[in-house]
Chain A
Amino acid sequence: MCVNSLQSCIQFTTSTITLQNRWDHFLARWSFNRSGHRVEPGLYALGSPQEDSPVFVTANYTLSFDALRSALGEIDSYIMVLDTKGINVWCAAGKGTFGTDELVHRIENTHLHNVVSHRVLVLPQLGAPGVVAHEVKNRSGFTIEYGPVRAADLPEYLKTRQATPEMRKVKFTLWDRLTLIPVELVHVLLPLVAIAVALFFIGGFLTSLAAVAAILAGVVVFPLLLPWLPTHDFSAKGFILGGLIALPFAVITFLHNPDAALWQLVSRIVTYLLALPPVTAFVALNFTGSTTFTSRSGVRREIFTYVPFMALLFGAGIILAIALPLIQLLGG
């Protein structure tokens, strides 16, 4: 629904999160119709805003929009939604879509100058990597006020228009990490099943299970245990976790083959210890892109430090795994 106000098309919204909204959020978290969780860009009225009501800016991703409007509650305000192609604020800022140009364009497009008498826009802090505040002011006359990181802190923030240091910090809590797992899992599911089936026919049940365990350790367990695994590097943490996962398989091999020759047992155990940890480590390294604190320089350093080592170890494990039955076949 649209109300014409001096050529502006203003849509209405509420601060109520419905069951349908929650279902939409759930689907988004599970990566269903990944880029389809959008709202229409433009200007929205929350409650009964007047010309002196505040204007908040957000992305056209439903989770971003819904977080903002539900946090504002009873506060009469305008919400300006930028076209970020359905991407959240922080990622869009990094890409430039939650950016200076789109912001200036949207201000013009919505005729914001005719809607409000003041010249202030409250932006989420995490829009800053994409927005040059002083340039927006020069081009549109609107001053950028960076609000808190989390929309939930807005009511408190608005009392003083001063953010506490805590409001300006980004964390990576257990809950934050937990909510990322479904997306990672969904995207690894198909290759995981393929690998599991292939290895089952090639190497048997235990081999198949070991591979699945190594991958799932990286996708599910690693994000949960992240801050508690030793060292700072994701690859090193992944190696430690992968080593722990490989141990039970080594032990089971040892216990279930009492008749096998010692060299065969040792070889099999070594294969697990060589091939599994690099898999978990590599998956762990790839989690860097989902975190809120890894720098590009650091991740690049990790790649050059650990990936060759991962390839070497994994390759050695595979060669050994192939060589063992071959030697047996040739009468070892």
Chain B
Amino acid sequence: MFNSYLSNTLTYNPDLCIGCGMCSTVCPHAVFEQDDRVARLVRPEACMECGACQLNCPTDAITVDSGVGCAAAMIRAALRGRKETTCNTESGSPCCSADK
């Protein structure tokens, strides 16, 4: 109840995995773990859909609909009838306020 984050667009095909370990390395929320030779999807609900794993998987074993989990950006896009807005900092908007 009151949890919109239980499912996401992350898919993983273990048949394509060559055990390079990149997904475990780049994931900021330990969604994957290295299991002997291949990767295991251990915490899919923790995935924030950043896309790092998909980008760095050399065999395309991972797919995810990556983008920013930002309500302001999505609402703005919906109001303007456009597909997606990116963080616009040139105009001094409050987007991209996380500094790490």
Contacts and interface: CB of A to CB of B under 8 A. Distances in A.
A295 interface: yes
Interface in A241-296: 285-286, 288-296
Given A168-B27, A169-B30, A299-B70, A290 B89 contact: no
Contacts of A132: 55-56
A48 interface: no
Contacts of B39: none
A163 B89 CA distance: 32
Interface in A295-330: 295-303, 305, 307
Interface in B11-37: 22, 24-30
B66 A129 contact: yes
Contact of A291 (B2, B93, B98): B98
B46 to A, nearest CB: 8
Contacts of B28: 125-126, 149, 168-170, 292
Contacts of B55: 128-132
Contacts of B3: 231-233
B69 interface: yes
Contact of B4 (A85, A163, A187, A305): A305
B52 A184 contact: no
Most buried by B among A29, A300, A307: A300
A296 B56 contact: no
B10 to A, nearest CB: 9
B70 A134 contact: no
Interface residues of B, number: 50
B1 A231 contact: yes
Interface in B32-79: 46-52, 55-56, 58, 65-75
Contacts of A89: 100
Given A34-B89, A90-B98, A134 B56 contact: yes
B13 to A, nearest CB: 18
B55 to A, nearest CB: 5
Interface string A195-213: 0000000000000000000
A289 B69 contact: yes
A295 B99 contact: no
| Most chain A beta carbons < 10 A, residue from B28, B51, B92, B100 | B100
Contacts of B95: 289
B4 A286 contact: no
B86 to A, nearest CB: 6
Contact of B71 (A34, A183, A303): A303
A94 interface: yes
A297 B30 contact: no
Contact of B56 (A28, A133, A236): A133
A168 B30 contact: yes
A35 B89 contact: yes
Q: Which of B1, B89, B90 has the most CB of A within 10 A?
A: B89
Most chain B beta-carbon contacts within 10 A, residue among A131, A293, A303:
A293
Interface in A111-139: 125-126, 128-134
6 contacts: A35-B92, A85-B89, A289-B70, A296-B8, A299-B74, A301-B4
Interface of A: 28-29, 31, 34-35, 61, 63, 85-91, 93-95, 125-126, 128-134, 146, 149-150, 163, 165, 168-170, 176, 179-180, 183-184, 187, 231-234, 236, 285-286, 288-303, 305, 307
Which 8 pairs show the lowest CB-CB distances between chains A and B? A289-B70, A128-B52, A294-B69, A298-B5, A128-B26, A301-B4, A231-B2, A232-B3
Given A35-B90, A129-B51, 15 more contacts: A86-B89, A91-B96, A94-B50, A94-B87, A130-B55, A131-B55, A180-B98, A184-B97, A233-B5, A234-B71, A290-B98, A294-B70, A295-B8, A296-B68, A298-B8
